[in-house]
Structure 1
Amino acid sequence: MKTIVLIRHAKSSWDHDVSDLNRPLSKRGFTDANLVSKAFKSYNFNPDAIYSSPANRALTTCSIFMENLNISKELLGIDHKLYDFGGNQVRRFIKSLNDDLEKVIIFGHNHAFTSLANSFGDADIDNLPTSGLVMIEFNVDQWQQVSQGETKLFLKPKDFK
């Protein structure tokens, strides 16, 4: 059994003259990431690995989740393939994961994450909002075999406001 948790980065701020890669979170982004991560804590999900896009907004969201979930920084990997908006690079990344890993969390971007949540999962998700989280389980033993799974969880910030 393989389980993937896709988490879209929290709301970013456009108030800074920085590159897309360096854009920080907005105040709402910090609030929403804390809301969703604290709600997710009650599910007692213990990942074998966490991966993030190198974008500042994704890494900051990842840090908030890791802190609130008490996850060791040793589990974190940063990969440029996750700085993907279409989804093909993320899909290849997931299918190339080490088969020793059973539960993985990935932090990244839209449209890629909404697209993957719909193609991998069995729920119809119109849009994975910022700070949104989708958990999908696959009844396979190898990541390469991941195709259609079961959407087990869909959390969004507005559920907790």
Structure 2
Amino acid sequence: MRRLILMRHAKSDWSHGTSDHDRPLNPRGRSAAEALGNWLRAEGLLPDAVLCSTAARTRETCAILNLPESCAVEHLRQLYLAEPSEIIANLRQRATGDTVLLVAHNPGIAAAAALLLQQTPDQDAFDRYPSGATTVMDFDIDNWADLAPGSGALHTFTVPKQLV
């Protein structure tokens, strides 16, 4: 079995006047990322490895989660504003370990979550996939290369608003 955690970056700060790629988190986003990290630990959902977009807001989200040092983090430019097919391809090619966290952007991350699940959660927040939205799903596969659309069983879904 493999477990996948798909997380949209926390709330970013539009006031910096930087490029989209360099936009950091705002205070609410930093608080949300901390809450998500606490939730992952409390629920026993810590990943073995992380695939993360190179954008500042995804890197900052990932760093604030305060994952164990043993968790390998790979920053990938191709996850920046990636389409669902690119997200799935990167998982198939690069994911390692039993539990993988992927931190990326909407609309691709939301579409990838919906595409991979057998059945989506009956929550309005899932349809919106707001900043910090996190879907945890399980796959009955031995190798990430075998990841297929429609094969993920929903384990849980949350948004920062439910945690803070």
> Are 1:106 and 2:109 counterparts?
no
What is the match of residue 86 of structure 2?
89
> 1:15 aligns to what SS in structure 2?
helix
Unaligned runs of 5+ in 1: none
> 1:77 aligns to what SS in structure 2?
strand
In 2, the alpha carbon distance for the partners of 1:34 and 1:101 equals 24
Task: Detail structure 1 runs of 4+ shifted over 4 Å in the superposition.
Answer: none
What is the match of residue 137 of structure 2?
136
Per-residue deviation at 1:115?
Answer: 0.5
Per the normalisation by structure 2, the TM-score is 0.88
What is the match of residue 61 of structure 2?
61
What is the match of residue 38 of structure 1?
38
Counterpart selection for 2:111 from 115, 132, 136: 115
Distance 1:83 1:118, change over 3 A: same
Unaligned runs of 5+ in 2: none
- The answer on whether the counterparts of 1:2 and 1:137 sit within 8 Å (CA) in structure 2 is yes
The amino acid across from 1:35 in the alignment is A
The amino acid across from 1:142 in the alignment is N
Counterpart selection for 2:152 from 149, 154, 161: 149
CA displacement 1:25-80 (0-9 Å, x = unmatched): 11111111112221221112232211210000000000011x1x4x1176111111
CA displacement 1:121-153 (0-9 Å, x = unmatched): 122430221111111110011212212110101
What is the match of residue 14 of structure 2?
14
Could you say what the CA RMSD is over the residues aligned between the two structures, in angstroms?
1.6
In 2, the alpha carbon distance for the partners of 1:16 and 1:101 equals 37
- The answer on whether the counterparts of 1:5 and 1:134 sit within 8 Å (CA) in structure 2 is yes
The amino acid across from 1:118 in the alignment is A
In 2, the alpha carbon distance for the partners of 1:62 and 1:23 equals 14
Count of aligned pairs: 157
Per the normalisation by structure 1, the TM-score is 0.90
The amino acid across from 2:106 in the alignment is N
- The answer on whether the counterparts of 2:47 and 2:71 sit within 8 Å (CA) in structure 1 is no
> 1:60 aligns to what SS in structure 2?
helix
> 1:118 aligns to what SS in structure 2?
helix
CA displacement 1:8-41 (0-9 Å, x = unmatched): 1011111011111100111111111112221221
